[in-house]
Amino acid sequence: MSISRNIFRVTLGLFVGGLVSAFLGYWFAEGALREKVAETRVRQGTIRAMALADLVFAEQSRAEKEKTAPGALIQFWQQRHNDVDAVRVMRLSGARLLASSFNDDLENGTPPRRLKRSEKEIYDLGQLLRANVDTNREEGNPREPEVISEELRNGRLRVSVPWFTAKNPEKAAGYVQLEVSPTITTRELAFWPVLVLALVPAFLFFIGSLILSRLVKLEHPESVLWSAMTTSVLLMIFCLLGFGNYYLIDLGQENVRFQQELAQLYTASRTSAEEGAAEFALDYETTYTNDWDVNAYRQPLRYISFDGELYIGVGTAQDTVANRLGMAFFGCSLLAIGLLVFFGLGGAARFWHIIVDYREAYIYTLPAMTGMLVLVFFPFGYGILLSFTDQTLYNTEKPLLDIWAGLNNYIEIIGDFNLIQTTEAGWSFNYQNFYWTLFITVAWTVVNVSIGVTIGLILALLLNNKNLRFKALYRGLLILPWATPNYVTALIWKGLFNREYGPINHTIQLFGGEPVAWFDSVFTSFLTGITVNGWLSFPFMMVICLGGLQSISSDMYEAARLDGANRWQQFRYITLPSLKPTLIPAVILSVVWTFNMFNVIYLVSGGEPGGSNEILITKAYKLAFQDYRYGYSAAYSTVIFLILLIYGVFQTKVSRAMESNA
Amino acid sequence: MSRKIKDESSPILIHVVLITFTAMTIYPLLWVLTIAFSGKQSLAIALLPENPTVWDRLRAIIPFPETVSLANFIEVITEKNFLVWMGNSAIVATLTTLLGVFLSCTAAYAFSRFKFPGQRAGLMSFLVSQMFPGTLMMVPLYIIVVQWLNLGNTFWGLILVYSTIAIPFCVWMLKGYFDTIPIEIEESAIMDGASRTVIFFRIILPLAKPAISVTALFSFMAGWNEFIIASLLMEEEKMYTAPVGLKFFVGEHATQWGSFAAGSIIVSVPVVLLFMYTQKYLVSGLTAGSVKG
Amino acid sequence: MIQNRIKRLMVLCVLACCMSAPLAATELVVWHAYRGAEKEAFQAVCDQFSAQSDGVTVKTLAVPYDAYADKITAAVPRGKGPDVFIFAQDRLGGWIEAGNTVEPIDFYVDDEMRERFLDNTLDALTYRDIIYGLPLNFKCIALIYNKKMIDSPPKTSAELVALAKKHTNAEAGRYGLAYAYADFFFHAALMNGFNGGVFAPGPRPTLNRPENVKSVELILKWSKQDGILPAEPSNALITSLFNKGKAAMIFNGPWFLGEIDPSVDYALAPLPALDEAGGNPMKPWMTIEGVYVAAPSENKDAAFDLVNYLTGAEAGKVMALKGRQLPANKAVYQLEEVKKDPIMQAFVTQSKVAVPMPNLAEMSMFWSPATTAMNTIIRGTATPKDALDKAQVQVEKAVAKLRKQ
């Protein structure tokens, strides 16, 4: 009986794993093909546009007298190329539309003419391209697109490239925009491999095991599980390999075909450009250029030679789309095998039973968990994802995969041991270094929490006196720092510490001391933070301790006194141990809160002097909002999180160990 | 006998220590009061005259305005919309409290009463959620609340966010408290044929009143003092909360300290009152919550 | 019966509403961070626009300054923001680079429009040679002096020092001159006076250029050698000193005027020229509040009309007289009421030599290292050259990390 159950499970695993990975893989393969087609189409449009831009260049570089509007030129270009539907040539100076065959433009008046108010977008695109060209040139590192393409709803493509003049070959004078109906298409992706992967392994396995079980009688049916698992995994891998390879090869073949078509297109463009140059008597040097086939930054791709031949290897090697698809398939395979193992070993069944058996508990936790999941853990996961990228202000619109940085951010943070600076004057700490900030943060947390706990405990002990008068009043007043908004009180504290007029320095002077410039040295500045945060946080600890103290039965003290224990011994052996269960969760939480206490540092010392009193959280904030390095800042946050996580796990382990000892 | 021993530490000494601590605690707050009642907008700075005497120095450290005036308070209260904002804050904080307490009660009850797989991990995940720095999560939060949930410019958006901020602490505290409620009570109720839901609402919740008031206070504060998210999500001035209104007194170059201080006192009053009211519960609530059964 | 009547009444009401409201009314949403008189003046101007234009109404939203930039960054690129918003130029570069926040309006701006603004103000809102907003109001620091102590304001730095020395008695806490010289925003007046600057054309940091070093050395001379400045010049201290008549002259901006005690009789003058820099005037940094059209706005045309109106002379007049702001529109200063106003005239004179603060995103990286450098220099723990070198390295590093893609 159990043999067939195992077989059933493995079969189900093969089916589910195959089904999920097949659909996912198909989705990826289709996406990759679509991406490849889109990429090729853009190249088609770009070649056409760049070639025309060269003609416009030649035309507009002529002497002022010979210059004509390029209306005839674009007409010629459109006649020569069936795929070109409409052309627009725009010049920035004077905001002029030099020539156009767009219907909208013609309705607004025949070019050449000045752009109308409603045609702002036409002008803005020119300015954008001009600015992008300038930026890339000035920074010597292309980051802004110089070829802008846009896919239209009707399947057409709009490609805009800047044109230049001989007078100023570095500054874009305007742009040429083409609306193209791309001729490059692709066929439907074959669907049958999906069905094969979903059904065949499961079917084969099931039939095979049926036959086997008829032929062989096993003494220990359970032992068959492992061999069944191994067989099924091998079967799965085999099928996955076939599946992946089919689509990868398919993509490669399509790619080669695309390149060939592009090469033909390129040759055609060159021929007509030469003819056009002759017809319009343009001084047009085509012989040396091969830079119509360019990427978005107008950098030549050099896949196609000047004669329209493909360079060897184009279409197979170095194809990012194919590489990415390969990686996606690898991921799908892992998923498939994971599902197979999960189902095959009975994990899914167990999982289901757990959900059903404990549904009441899950229902009770569900609302809170959902809220946390959506509003806390989701942004949190996004932050962690971001930490593996190089996202900055300048590339926020790029997909995260394109700016993937792996562990670079973490290496930069943790691998920087440049803790000490040596100058002519001597050596000093490098306050920008991660380890310095970590040291300060740990010191800050340890000191703050100790102070909070100590003061809180002392006050609680004092207030825990049944006969004390004005107890409620004391308690009420001592709780105030917790109740008032801390962004107000933190600023007041900053004023109290001012060197010239701060009451603290006045007090020091009252007793004949010298005023202290609190924010000028690392230590005193640290002290200010500690004071403010201690002031803010002791009420919480006091309340917790007060509560804890009241739960201790007075019998214990009585007994201790009878045994002759003194006050210290009573405190040491009764009060403290009884407080432990109260204090430990509170301490853990307050360590976490203090570690990430942004307001106090930010508002009081601001990390002065020289960023030495920065803690990790304020540093992460600065990295994001001053240096605009979002990925790096996210990595900083993740490091903070990991440190706290390690602390939390360690602390709970220790306290649990102590509990079980007790 | 025992009373005698307790009295051996001098109450005067205790009072001296307590008075010192209390004085140090409220000193900065007295400056807030001083600025608020000064009737001026600048920080109250006592400049010392030439060759200051001890008295001059003493005057400089005593927080008391040169002239007492209610002008700042009047300015804040008569500020257009300020009372509306206080009302909004009250609505948001109250509903945050209700929602936050309800969500944490149910979750904490499950963590306390049921044994289920993922229990420890679940409880830990609430703690873990406090560990990731929240300052950088504004834009994702905005996207979720405004774009996905479509709760921009509504109180519900704010209430949801504030409740989730408060939940982790509340769950931990409540779970501890529920642990101390003897399970026998429930068992006998089950014998009588009561369902879990009935037990939860009729027996557990009333018993946990003290702990609930603690978490309520905490949730209330989470919703009452926050201003960044509130100003991020609201698209009409009428929808702002009081802390947002308060922040209007802080400009790019100059801060109206007087109004800011007066406003923050006004804003703090409800919290302090609530605090005073729940003090009794607070102490006993936290006590029981922490003692593990 | 009654229910029926109520229903009918409601239908009538709805009908009436529909008929009275103009068809397809456009509502423009404007965000700003004004409060008090400035807010009232701005509201009045927006109402005027609504009244003037057919079918366009303006709805304003004030946002607290502390949350304002974050709100724009979060909301506008997601299409949830306003049609028009107002912000100083310091964030402009960042928003443009982030994309889909600020609409270029270069195309709308003709020569006549360019001419209507005070010199330099439009430059502040121009990024990569594209105009992104029109200047609304400007702010810069000028010399504010106590008339009881100073008869005629100093024209040169030599006069300034001489006059200040006369009124300084550090023992008694009296200073001839007080301003937040450790704050780079204020120090920029000296720095620019020496023709220094913090970024070369483009985002190349030049914190340690010799002109900057010279300007910091001059500050050191004023505070240490001449002793005319208080030691730790925070804004609160300067306010107190001036209000108590213990500071004869201060450098501060229009935002400070509201904090001056009514008992103090003060006047304004342009900052003096620097003998040390060959008679160059001190050139403070100027912040310009720009009015921008939000990139995702669906009513860009109407939005620009509003921008145009807000920065016009009519609106400028209201903001100058009612809001006590300093409009960037030149024509405002030709009005009789404004001509008579010595405060406005002083700031406008000052603006002629003022330099717009750079609008590069990289400016945010400069503040913290620059503040550290100024503090160490004033404390005397580092020479101006060393401190600025160190800050330069830090800013260079941050800039390089950002612009590497």
User: Do C64 and B248 make contact, defined as CB atoms within 8 angstroms?
Assistant: yes
Residues 177-236 of A with CB under 8 A from C: none
Alpha-carbon distance of C21 to C29, in angstroms, equals 18
Residues 6+ apart with CB under 8 A from A466: B6
Domain assignment of residue B257, yes or no? yes
- B34 and B101: one domain? no
Q: Is A135 on the interface with C (CB under 8 A)?
A: yes
A309 pLDDT higher than 90: no
Domain assignment of residue B104, yes or no? yes
For the domain that residue B231 is a member of, what is the CATH number?
1.10.3720.10
- B7 and B110: one domain? no
- Distance, CA of C240 to chain centre: 23
**Which segment of A456-460, A502-506, B3-7 scores lowest on mean pLDDT?**
B3-7
- Distance, CA of A597 to chain centre: 24
A658 pLDDT higher than 70: no
Residues 257-296 of C with CB under 8 A from B: 258-259
| pLDDT score of B4 | 40
Count CB-CB contacts under 10 A for residue B126: 23
Percent of chain C with pLDDT over 90: 74
Q: What are phi and psi of A43, to 5 degrees?
A: -65, -40
Q: Which CATH architecture has domain C142-283+362-402?
A: 3-Layer(aba) Sandwich (3.40)
Alpha-carbon distance of A514 to C380, in angstroms, equals 18
Domain ranges for chain A, please list them: 20-187+255-336, 434-615
> Which superfamily is assigned to A20-187+255-336 in CATH?
PAS domain (3.30.450.20)
Q: What is the pLDDT of residues A241-253, one digit of tens each?
A: 999 999 999 998 8
| pLDDT score of A3 | 56
* pLDDT band with cut points at 50, 70 and 90 for residue B169: confident
Give contacts of A462 with chain B, Cβ < 8 Å: 14, 17-18
Distance from CA of A387 to the nearest CA of C (A): 15
User: Do B25 and A558 make contact, defined as CB atoms within 8 angstroms?
Assistant: no
- Residue C269: beta bridge partners? C143
Percent of chain A with pLDDT over 90: 37
User: Do C402 and A628 make contact, defined as CB atoms within 8 angstroms?
Assistant: yes
| CATH 3.30.1240.10 matches A434-615 | no
Q: C24-139+286-356 with C142-283+362-402: one CATH topology? A: yes
Peptide bond preceding A367: is omega within 30 degrees of 0, i.e. cis?
no
Domain ranges for chain C, please list them: 24-139+286-356, 142-283+362-402
A258 pLDDT higher than 50: yes
Distance from CA of A571 to the nearest CA of B (A): 14
CATH number (3.40.50.10420, 3.40.190.10, 3.60.10.10, 3.30.950.10) of C24-139+286-356 reads: 3.40.190.10
Q: A20-187+255-336 with A434-615: one CATH topology? A: no
Q: Is C404 on the interface with A (CB under 8 A)?
A: yes
For C67, the closest of B51, B231, B254 (CB atoms) is B231
A403 pLDDT higher than 90: no
The answer to whether C391 and C208 have CB atoms below 8 angstroms apart is yes
> If you measure CA to CA, which chain B residue comes closest to C256?
B254
Q: What is the pLDDT of residues C225-251, one digit of tens each?
A: 999 998 878 888 888 889 989 999 999
Q: Is B252 on the interface with C (CB under 8 A)?
A: yes
Alpha-carbon distance of C300 to C105, in angstroms, equals 10
Give contacts of C364 with chain A, Cβ < 8 Å: 625-628
Kindly write down the DSSP assignment for every residue of A318-351, as one continuous string.
T-HHHHHHHHHHHHHHHHHHHHHHHHHTTHHHHH
* pLDDT band with cut points at 50, 70 and 90 for residue A220: low
Domain assignment of residue B74, yes or no? no
Distance from CA of B253 to the nearest CA of C (A): 7
Q: Is C65 on the interface with B (CB under 8 A)?
A: yes
The answer to whether A248 and A325 have CB atoms below 8 angstroms apart is yes
Q: Which of A49, A91, A95 is nearest to A69 (CA)?
A: A91
> If you measure CA to CA, which chain C residue comes closest to B142?
C74
| pLDDT score of A219 | 64
| pLDDT score of C400 | 87
* pLDDT band with cut points at 50, 70 and 90 for residue C191: very high
> If you measure CA to CA, which chain A residue comes closest to C237?
A501
User: Do C379 and A517 make contact, defined as CB atoms within 8 angstroms?
Assistant: yes
Give contacts of B228 with chain C, Cβ < 8 Å: 66-67, 70
The answer to whether A603 and A587 have CB atoms below 8 angstroms apart is no
Alpha-carbon distance of A193 to A19, in angstroms, equals 11
Give contacts of A402 with chain C, Cβ < 8 Å: none
Residues 257-316 of C with CB under 8 A from A: 300-301
Alpha-carbon distance of B170 to B212, in angstroms, equals 8
- Residue C62: beta bridge partners? C32
Number of domains composing chain B: 2
User: Do A627 and C300 make contact, defined as CB atoms within 8 angstroms?
Assistant: no
Q: Is A93 on the interface with C (CB under 8 A)?
A: no
Give contacts of A633 with chain B, Cβ < 8 Å: 136
* pLDDT band with cut points at 50, 70 and 90 for residue B205: confident
**Which segment of A234-238, A655-659, C148-152 scores lowest on mean pLDDT?**
A655-659
> If you measure CA to CA, which chain A residue comes closest to C399?
A627
| pLDDT score of A287 | 47
Q: Is A650 on the interface with B (CB under 8 A)?
A: no
Alpha-carbon distance of A592 to A393, in angstroms, equals 30
* pLDDT band with cut points at 50, 70 and 90 for residue B46: low
Distance from CA of C11 to the nearest CA of A (A): 40
- B8 and B109: one domain? no
Last residue of a domain, one of B51, B69, B87: B69
Rounded to two decimals, the ipTM of the complex is 0.86
User: Do A627 and C402 make contact, defined as CB atoms within 8 angstroms?
Assistant: yes
B24 pLDDT higher than 80: yes
The answer to whether C287 and C139 have CB atoms below 8 angstroms apart is yes
Residues 6+ apart with CB under 8 A from A136: A142, A143, A144, A146, A297
Cα first-last separation, chain C? 74
Residues 521-540 of A with CB under 8 A from B: 535
B289 pLDDT higher than 50: no
Q: Which domain holds residue B56?
A: 2-69
**Which segment of A320-324, B61-65, B97-101, C375-379 scores lowest on mean pLDDT?**
B61-65
Q: Is B45 on the interface with C (CB under 8 A)?
A: yes
Domain assignment of residue B166, yes or no? yes
User: Do C256 and B254 make contact, defined as CB atoms within 8 angstroms?
Assistant: yes
- B105 and B209: one domain? yes
- B47 and B180: one domain? no
A/C interface, count of CB pairs below 8 Å? 107
Q: Is C368 on the interface with A (CB under 8 A)?
A: yes
* pLDDT band with cut points at 50, 70 and 90 for residue A204: very high
Q: Is A633 on the interface with B (CB under 8 A)?
A: yes
Alpha-carbon distance of A81 to A44, in angstroms, equals 12
- B93 and B188: one domain? yes
User: Do B11 and A374 make contact, defined as CB atoms within 8 angstroms?
Assistant: no
Q: What is the pLDDT of residues C112-128, one digit of tens each?
A: 999 999 988 999 999 99
Which chains are within 8 Å of B by 3+ CB pairs?
A, C
For A509, the closest of B57, B131, B196 (CB atoms) is B57
> If you measure CA to CA, which chain A residue comes closest to B285?
A547
* pLDDT band with cut points at 50, 70 and 90 for residue C280: very high
| pLDDT score of A170 | 87
Last residue of a domain, one of B37, B69, B101: B69
| pLDDT score of A551 | 67
**Which segment of B259-273, C12-26, C207-221 scores lowest on mean pLDDT?**
C12-26
What's chain A's average pLDDT? Answer: 86
A661 pLDDT higher than 80: no
Alpha-carbon distance of A619 to C187, in angstroms, equals 26
Q: Which helix (H) or strand (E) holds A429?
A: strand A426-429
- B127 and B56: one domain? no
Distance from CA of A399 to the nearest CA of B (A): 16
- B158 and B271: one domain? yes
Give the residue from B16, B130, B143, B229 with the most A CB atoms within 10 Å of its CB, the best one to mutate. B130
User: Do C364 and A626 make contact, defined as CB atoms within 8 angstroms?
Assistant: yes
C56-62 and C26-32 beta bridge pairing: parallel
Alpha-carbon distance of A227 to C310, in angstroms, equals 80
- Nearest-5° Cα angle at A487, A615 to C33: 110
| pLDDT score of C404 | 64
Last residue of a domain, one of B25, B49, B69: B69
Over range A67-89, report the average pLDDT. 89
